[in-house]
Chains A and B, each alone.
Chain A
Amino acid sequence: MLEILRNIFTLSIGAIFIENFVLCQFLGICPFLGVSKKVETASGMGFAVVFVMTVASAITWVVQYFLVKFGLDYLQTIAFILVIAVLVQFVEMFLQKAIPALYESLGIYLPLITTNCAVLGVAILNTTKFTEGPTFLYSTLYGFMAGVGFLVAIVLMAGIRERLETSDIPEFLKGMPITLITAGLMAMAFMGFSGLSF
């Protein structure tokens, strides 16, 4: 029991800080760079991604169970991405009815969550990372925490970029270059967590 609790704690802190999906594992970079101009939209996107990653982790765990059972491991990629595509479709329809304001502000970026490598990435990572114990719990939790890590990174970036708007940056660095350099510095900061263990 204690072992399980310890694992849960480790993987949570791990997903958010030590191996942050965006700043350490390079997953979810496109929306991270694309939707981080304003804190509001960034957090909206972040929350949507948390939800999708959590539910996707849960469903793909079940799918993986059956794939392994029937020896169809090679169908993993195609099965997972289909699950994610359908899931995002449902989230889209739900948001359009329930929170139209958020739906509008996310615009094209909402269906793009399907191609967010963080979602497919966490689904695949779950299958290799957790082999003993309550793997369903670990997988779903890891999906949730990884999403939170993404949320933290994207909101931090948005906060910084809002400030950069009013700074005097050389023309050729404006836009993507300065954003990437900022991300590099953030990644460096997050490296400070890498010695952390329990």
Chain B
Amino acid sequence: MKSIKTILNGLLYENPTFILLLGMCPTLATTTGVSNAVGMGLSAAAVLICSNIVISLLRKLIPSKIRIAAYIVIIAGFVTVVQMALEAYLPGLYESLGLYIPLIVVNCIILGRAEAFASKNSVWLSALDGLGMGLGFTCALVLIALVREVLGAGEILGMSIFPEAWNFQPASIMLLAPGAFLTLGVLLGIINAVRGRGGKKNA
């Protein structure tokens, strides 16, 4: 069914992080812990779904020449709403995501899907595409965050997972900048190997 296919597309076949290689900045920055990753992923997903819906609704009315500018304004609107909602109802998450909340506006995933999908498809399918892509993004973030948090702090969601007796000494560098690049690079390498093809030359 087309609906299911659309969702699966975003989740797997065209996963925005691992296949489309979009939205790298928040991927590297907010994966220091699983809770941050979930927060960022879901916030971006919310914006993506809403903006996809609105842009699809207006797709026949927005003149082609100014479409990018119009998309940006609409996306910025939803990002600001998410910003204000987080500040009011989830202040802890708001503080730890910090600068990266407003930066959702320039997350290439959202603008990319608006241009590639929402502007050409029905409202229902666009919403599903937003859902699939948003979930795909969140899962990717969580996967990376799991690696970084376990190796970098020995914890998941702030809770220690290794028994005291093991005396696990975490590699703090995983929580810092190099750790982010290395984790993503290695994961992409593994995915490429599993898919049986060499790395794409588009990088």
Enumerate chain A interface residues (CB-CB to B < 8 A). Answer: 23-30, 33-34, 74-78, 81-82, 85, 111, 114-117, 120-121, 124-125, 171-181, 183-185, 187-188, 190-191
Contacts and interface: CB of A to CB of B under 8 A. Distances in A.
B34 to A, nearest CB: 18
Interface stretch (B6-14, B49-57, B148-156, B191-199): B191-199
B186 A76 contact: no
User: Which label, helix, strand, loop or mixed, suits the secondary structure of the B interface?
Assistant: helix
Interface stretch (B103-111, B120-128, B130-138, B160-168): B103-111
A34 B99 CA distance: 23
Interface residues of B, number: 48
A115 B199 contact: no
Nearest to A123: B102
Nearest to B184: A180
B114 to A, nearest CB: 12
Given A33-B24, A188-B177, 5 more contacts: A26-B180, A77-B83, A117-B25, A171-B198, A188-B173
A129 to B, nearest CB: 11
B200 interface: yes
Contacts, number: 144
B77 A125 contact: no
Contact of B80 (A33, A78, A82, A115): A78
B62 interface: no
B4 interface: no
A29 B105 contact: no
B185 A179 contact: yes
A74 B83 CA distance: 9
Contacts of B179: 184
Contacts of B169: none
Interface of B: 21-22, 24-26, 28-29, 68-69, 72-73, 76-77, 79-80, 83-84, 99, 102-103, 105-108, 111, 173, 176-182, 184-186, 188-190, 192-193, 197-203
Contact of B106 (A34, A114, A174, A191): A114
A188 B203 CA distance: 21
Contacts of B107: 115
Contacts of A30: 22, 24-25, 108
A124 B99 contact: yes
Contacts of B180: 26, 184, 187
A74 B79 CA distance: 11
Contacts of A176: 21, 185, 188, 199-200, 203
B106 A179 contact: no
Nearest to A169: B199
A31 B190 CA distance: 23
